[in-house]
């Protein structure tokens, strides 16, 4: 089976919700059955799970304080610019 049918489209459209368990039980079961039967969708699912896991591990580090300060300053600068534009 290739990833072209409506079942594949539905499974892939809801893949992130499925991975994050943010989808209703019936849809989750339907997607699980499809992934179990469709090797193409299973490959996409496995790849997305690995990527999500890698990103999650990478995001566990805390940024150094100088970088945090620089980002916060940039955010505040943009907020001031937006406020000034609204008042003009």
Q: Using DSSP, how many helices (H) and how many strands (E) does the chain show?
A: 5, 0
pLDDT digits (tens, 9 = 90+) for 37-68: 999 999 999 999 999 988 887 777 788 999 99
* 36 pLDDT more than 80: yes
Contacts of 42 (CB under 8 A, 6+ apart): 35, 36
Q: Taking residues 70-78, what's their average pLDDT?
A: 94
Q: What is the pTM of this model?
A: 0.59
pLDDT of residue 5: 75
Would you state the pLDDT for residue 2? 54
pLDDT in tens, 13-23: 999 999 999 99
Contact at 8 Å (CB) between 56 and 27? no
């Amino acid at each position: 089976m290739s990833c072209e049918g409506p079942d594949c489209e539905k499974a892939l459209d809801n893949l992130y919700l499925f991975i994050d368990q943010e989808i209703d039980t019936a849809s989750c079961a339907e997607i699980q059955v499809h992934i179990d039967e469709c090797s193409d969708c299973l490959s996409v699912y496995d790849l997305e799970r690995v990527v999500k896991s890698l990103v999650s591990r990478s995001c566990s580090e805390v940024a150094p304080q100088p970088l945090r300060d620089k980002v916060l300053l940039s955010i505040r600068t943009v907020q001031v610019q937006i406020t000034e534009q609204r008042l003009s």
